[in-house]
Structure 1
Amino acid sequence: MSHQPFNRAALARMHEAAVTGRQLPTVPDPLILESWKRMVAKGMNPDRNRHSGLLPREEVDKRRESSGLGELLPVVREGLAAVAEDDWHLMVVTDADGQVLWRSGSRAGVRTADRFGLEEGSCLTEDVAGTNAVGTSLVARRPVQVTSAEHYSRVFHSWFCVSAPVHDPRDGRLLGAVDLTGPAEQVHPATLALVSAVARVAEGELRSRHLESVERLRSAAAPLLARIGGKAIAVDRYGWTAGVTGVAPTARVALPDSPQTGQAWLPSLGPCSLEPLPGGWLVRVHPQEAPRSPSRVVLDLTRPRAWPVSVDGAAGSWAHSLSPRHAELLFVLAVHREGRTAAELAADLFGDPARAVTVRAELSRLRRHMAGVLAHRPYRFTDEAEVRLLRPADPLDLLPFSTAPAVVAARDQRLPEARRRIR
């Protein structure tokens, strides 16, 4: 994310205007502005956070084991240790719920963090701590820098924090965030790039281990596939292909979110049967009639961190959790049933019609997972499909990570006038 070079005095004036409902003298970074809107709408007091104590040590240990981040800790520490050990700096790793699982840094930084309750077991979500790099990056699903008065809570105005989310490359699941925090006057222009790079290296470590596991499955599945007549694919538990017979190779098969042994309908393959393999599944592809269009599509955007789409019809049933970008795309197409061109979608998502190539690439990936649901020229849901769009009760919770112009406009249009305090 780019970051505007506002000085502390300008940030303080913007913050004061935001929390008192006055006209903003200058518009801050869109991610900060959208976060402030959420805090104001929720009635958060900028002079008090909602910190309610620490998780018990046994709960912290349990979350460490289940988060999948423990194995990445050496990579994160190696990337940030030199900075975190400087005076007053602190490295923090949280899980996807914003709970601090690990922290380390200079003695001065740790002592200061203790005074603010920033300890292992504390929570840094926006609901608890207001706009901050960890909480906002977990919402935005991208690296975030929050400096001085960009923090909604005044108690953090003397700090900067830079955070980047860590995703599991196997399925896109959000694992948590890595963060570097220090005195506001010591923020460096390269800190955001550094923390972002460390998060990417951590994801790369997971990707490397995943490729090794796929290779092991490929070796184990090869003799089985050689004996099978007909069409079959061996995939790992995330759908990544380890071997095929009788079908064209594909990098990944879209499995149900919770695959089970037995009959299944997969959007790219049609009717199949799933059989367990060590570390994955054997997918046997059955002969099928000409594909029939689905009768119902439900796009559920009511949840804060997962956006499932389900397809039901004569051809079968299927559900899948969308990535943030694909959730944005399907939202726009659900609103515009008449369809959108690539240039129009680029304006909807990026505010720039020239980014049509990026949109086409995303839709190409999305259509591979949603065969029979999406059409093109223009891009749209098929005319035969009944599309149901489920929105959250609070308009500000509509894809809160998104700064896409179409999503921001949809939030503002549905927000009652009484809650439109930041202008």
Structure 2
Amino acid sequence: MRLTLPPARRPTYTGPTSVTADGSRVSSPWSRPAVSPETSGLLIARAHEELIAGHEDRRLDDVRPLVQESWRRSLASLVGPEGLPPLDLTTDELEAYRQGHPLAGVMDMIRSLLLPGTAEESGVVVAVGDAAGRLLWVEGDRHIRALTGDMGFVAGANWSEDAVGTSAPGTALTLDRSVQIRGAEHFNRLVQPWSCTAAPVHDPETRRLLGVIDVTGGVEAVTPQAQLLVDATARAIESEILVARLRAQQAHPPRRSTPPRALLRILGRDRALLEAGGSTLELSARHAEILLLLAMHREGLSAEALSEAVYGHSAVETLRPEMVRLRRVLVPAAPQLVPQSRPYRLADGLETDAQHVLSLLDRGAHRVALAAYPGPVLPESDAPGVVEVRESVRSALREALIAEAGVDVLLAYADTLDGRDDGEVLRLCLSMLPARSPKRAGLVARIERLDRD
């Protein structure tokens, strides 16, 4: 049976606002843009009709390549142009399944980021699905939920490409990237009154696909700002999942059949801590420098190269007795780390907290990386090799935050030892803050002080 929406019920929201508990009005980020993008819908609809009629070579030039390819995949999967999605999960199955899903613990964050103020008057519907495309949560504007529910956009329904054809959640999962689908670009005619933006969510450590976040509404749901917000939300919840996992591990350390790898803590410390075999050993400044350099050069260093990195010049005769003293320290506490000679290297891998920070930055977990960075690498050391590592880590953190972090993370960085006198960071924070933010005055004062100095 073909379900259609009467024209009067099509989404026509203009600048929705929400009323907070104290009675003030909060603007929704899903406000309709000043200029409607609905200029090519008729051409796309005609191309869709030609495709369904078996004339796929006609008019497809009017359709984005991403949509063309998705339409062809939909045809190959024998998706009907007016079918309802299958309901894969019953009420009882749905409740049990989503309670154990990795995204269950971040639903409050998703709501706070994508459904500001009163969710039922937000102007959009937010859906969260699993990696197979099955919707687990569908929340948001009450009126839109009633309309989209008629086409099967409900929790428990399968919205993968194989089930309903081209749609933002299904196509985002297929391509493993964020996707926007506008109106007539949907393969299913029942969905064509709507537009949507979706982004996949991954496990922050394994990068395994966990699910998808989707925002559905009128043209406000497919603006460039909407895609930026949905992408940012996906990355934020990946970071939140990692933080929760680290906290759980600290509260309930997992049982391991093999001992954990040794860890050298050198961030914000002059006297490094070596954690190995369940014990912690404080090292001298010189021994910390040597172990750090060997940890960073796993292939090993010749005596000449290591002495230059530690002392600033070739001092092999000075280095050798220091290595003897280091071995004596390590034998009872961490025998697996006793350095080998010719070249000097560690037989067993040694991790550092600095490397952990760099790994978090690579995954886009900027807030977690900043929280794991208490200060520079061995800040009082003047060993050339250590100075190089220190500046490398400091620069990587700063550049990643400037390029990709949100204003809250940048403000936190601006309060650190590295960031408090960084004029570029302060000015970037100022440019990102809303015009009426109370934090602007303090930033302006700090920038003016730096300019005077």
Q: TM-score, normalised by structure 1?
A: 0.49
Higher helix fraction: Structure 1 or Structure 2? 2
Q: TM-score, normalised by structure 2?
A: 0.46
Structure possessing the higher radius of gyration over alpha carbons: 2
